[in-house]
Structure 1
Amino acid sequence: MRDRTDQTRAEVNNRSRRVTTVRVLAVTGVLAMTVTATACSSSSDKPTAAATPSTSATPVAASSATATPSPTVDPTAKATADVLAAYKAYTDYRVGALTSGHGDVNKQSAVSSGAAYQKLASDVFSAQQDGLLYKGAPVTHPEVTAVDLSSSPGKATMTDCLDTSNWTVVYAATGKSAAAPGQQTRIFVSITAEQVPDGAWRINQYVSDRGRSC
């Protein structure tokens, strides 16, 4: 009888343990589900950081540099200026040679050619032979009257009203005036210039006309 009672108690205890175990497992599962749900909820409730819009550099339109057209040079105007410069170089050399009494073949070749070269050489030589020197300097008033660039070489004509008021000839030995009395002080001069192969201009004719007023 006692044995049966003990057996019954043992079975009751076993059943009680199983029920307790099941309850513990059930509670544990519920807790686990609760924790998982809470974690998911917390994770989903977190505010998502707004995506920062990417800022792309605005392309700057390259300003194309506008090429400034080079000014057009008038060939005739340039030739006119070059001829006047050539005449100044010629008169500067002429005045220097006649006031010093000495010429320079190389310099003379650089400013004159043809008949003008020969006349200039003759004037300097004659002054040396006659013992004459020039004092002061003339004042020029050149004017280009025509330019022909179609010919080869190019040619130009010009005139000058040479003022010799301060340009006098004297005897080198005494310094006395050697000028002929009654001479005009303003002399009309006809000049021609010619372009040489390198593009420069040379005076190739120089004719004084003392009988023509200007």
Structure 2
Amino acid sequence: MAKAGETGDWQSPELAKYATGDALGVINRSLYTDHLNGVVTKGEPKTNPEVSKVEPPDNPTTVMISDCGDDSGWLKYKNGQLVNDTPGGRRSITAEVKKQQDGTWRVTRFAVEAVGSC
């Protein structure tokens, strides 16, 4: 999403390599809104994801990921001007990653909480 956000490319085929289902829909809608508004994102979020749960434990098909990401260096711009109302910061992120029929793993759902949630 960070790479596609640099140009607002909501149709990037790269997105489907990493996300599917609800997660891909949320990402596409967010990038499409930015595209319509002429907004691009510069910088990149800082993440340090960790596995918080594995199901089933003996042959996982679902993995939950937790993080305390920092988006203070990942900001939105329009016509070269900063459009973020707030500078961003550290926030709790959780994601569900599922094994697909082709053996790949993709994010199926995620939640990003408010700044200061971690």
Q: Calculate the TM-score normalised by the size of structure 2.
A: 0.87
- Aligned residue pair count: 118
Q: RMSD between aligned alpha carbons?
A: 2.1
Q: Is the 1:98–1:124 contact (alpha carbons within 8 Å) kept by the matching residues of 2? A: yes
2:52 maps to 1:148: no
Counterpart of 2:28 in structure 1: which amino acid?
A: A
Residue 179 (structure 1) aligns with? 84
Task: Point out where structure 2 has 5 or more consecutive residues left out of the alignment.
Answer: none
Q: CA deviation at 1:153?
A: 8.0
Structure with greater strand percent: 2
- Compared with structure 1, are the counterparts of its residues 146 and 137 closer, same or farther at alpha carbon in structure 2 (3 Å cutoff)? same
Task: Tell me the alpha carbon deviations over residues 123-166 of structure 1, each in whole angstroms, 9 at most, x when there is no partner.
Answer: 1101011111111111111011011136x981111112111121
Q: Distance in 1 between the 2:99 and 2:65 partners?
A: 14
Kept in 1: contact 2:90–2:115 (CA 8 A): no
**Higher-RCO chain (CA-CA 8 Å, sequence separation at least 6):** 2
Q: Say yes or no: does 1:209 pair with 2:113.
A: yes
Query: For the pair shown, which has the larger CA radius of gyration, 1 or 2?
Result: 1
Question: 1:162 aligns to what?
Answer: 69
SS of 1:138's equivalent in the other structure is coil
The question of 1:198 aligning with 2:105 is answered: no
How high is the TM-score relative to the length of structure 1? 0.50
Cross-structure match for 1:98: 5
What is the CA–CA distance in structure 1 between the aligned matches of 2:52 and 2:24, rounded to whole Å? 22
| AA matched with 2:104 | A
Question: Given that residues 72 and 89 in structure 2 are in contact (C-alpha distance below 8 angstroms), is that contact kept between their aligned partners in structure 1?
Answer: yes
The answer for unaligned runs of 5 or more in structure 1 is 1-93
